[in-house]
Amino acid sequence: TEWTSDQLSQVDQTVRRWLVELGREARGTKDQDLQVGQKEGDFRNIVTNLDTTNQAWLVDHIRSIDLDAHIVAEEGDLQRPETMAGHVWFIDPIDGTLNFVHEKTDFAIMVALYVDGKPTLGWIAKVMTNQVFHGGPEIGAFMNDQKLAPVADLGLTESILIVSGRRLIAGEKPYATLASAALAYRVLGSAGISFSRLFLQQATGYFSKLSPWDLAAGRVLAETLGYVVKSLDGSPINMLSSNTVLIATTKTYRESVKIVKD
Ligand code: 2AM
Ligand code: CA
Ligand code: CA
Ligand code: CA
C-alpha cells in the first residue's frame, strides 16, 4: 500500500518521537550499565547491550506501525529481504558505538524507509545535542522543527571533506588523494555525525565505504537537500550491500571524479 504525503508526515513525526525517547535513555546510560562486546574477533569492532536493545525496540515499533515492513539492521540475525520491493526499513541502533563508549559524544541513532527502492524517509538522531535530522523528498528535510537550507555548491578547495580514517591510514588510494586535495579533511568515527555536518553545510563531501544501515538515512536526507550520492565510477548504489560512495555537492563530486581519474 502506498503512503500519501500526509501519512509520510505522520510517520516522520512518529519515528522522530521514538528517537527522542531512545536518545534520552542513551544519555542516561551509566558506564556500569554498559556491557561491551567484540564482533568478528576485532577489538575495534564493538557492540554494547544498548545497540541490541535499541534495535529490538525499533524493530517492534516499526512492525507496530507497518505490517508490510521488511527490515535491514546491523545487529543480530534478522532475516534480510532479498530485494528492495515494498517497504524496506534500515536501522543502525547506535552509529559510532566506539565514540558512544569512549567519548560519550558524536554517536547517532539512524532509521530509514525506502519504498520500492526509492529513498523515502530518513532520521538521524544526534543524541548528545538532542537534534534529529529527518524528512525526505516528499516533505523536505529538517533539523528538529527547522527546515534545512538547500546546499551551496562549494568545491573541494572551498570546504572540508570527511573521510573514513581507517581506510585513509590503510593507504587505500582515493582516500588520501581526495583528502589532500580538499581544503581540510576530518575523521569523525560516525557516519551519522558525518552526514549531520553535511546537512549543516560544515563540510562539502563525505567519502567512505558504508554498510546499508550507515548510508540509508543519510542518503535520503542528502538527496533531498541536493547532494549527489554516488560511487566515483558512477555505478549505481545497491542498498542491500556495502557501497564506496561520495556524498557531496555537485561541484565537489565532479572535481573528485576528475582528480581520481588523473
Ligand atoms: P558503527 O559504530 O555503527 O559500527 C563508518 O565509519 C561507520 O563504520 C561508522 O559509523 C561505524 O558505525 C562503522 N565502523 C567503525 N569502525 C568499525 C569497525 N572496526 N568495523 C566495522 N564497522 C566500523
Ligand atoms: Ca558496529
Ligand atoms: Ca554505523
Ligand atoms: Ca551501529
CATH 3.40.50.10090 fits 156-261, yes or no: no
Structure confidence by residue, pLDDT tens digits, 129-153: 999 999 999 999 999 999 999 999 9
Name the band, by pLDDT with cuts 50, 70 and 90, for residue 2: confident
Task: Indicate whether 169 pLDDT > 80.
Answer: yes
At residue 88's C-alpha, the angle toward residues 86 and 89, to 5°, is: 150
Question: Residue ranges per domain, the chain?
Answer: 5-147, 156-261
For the CA of 107, the closest atom of ligand 1 is 2
What distance in Å separates the CA atoms of residue 51 and residue 1, rounded to the nearest whole number? 31
Topology agreement, domain 5-147 and domain 156-261: no
Interatomic CA distance for residues 224 and 151, integer angstroms: 10
Probe ligand 1: pick from 44, 100, 185, max atoms within 8 Å of CB?
44
Whole-Å CA distances, 214 to 10, 90, 96: 24, 9, 10
Query: What's the confidence (pLDDT) of residue 191?
Result: 98
- Residue-level pLDDT at 262: 84
CATH architecture of 5-147: 2-Layer Sandwich (3.30)
**Cell 525496540 maps to which residue?**
57
pLDDT of 1 strictly over 80: no
| 187 alpha carbon – ligand 3 mean position (Å) | 14
Nearest to 96 by CA among 142, 19, 164, 41: 164
pTM above 0.90, yes or no: yes
The residue-averaged pLDDT of 14-39 equals 97
- Residue range 211-237: average pLDDT? 97
194 lines ligand 1 (CB under 6 A): no
Q: Round to whole Å and give the CA distance between 249 and 20.
A: 29
Nearest to 71 by CA among 111, 109, 39, 20: 111
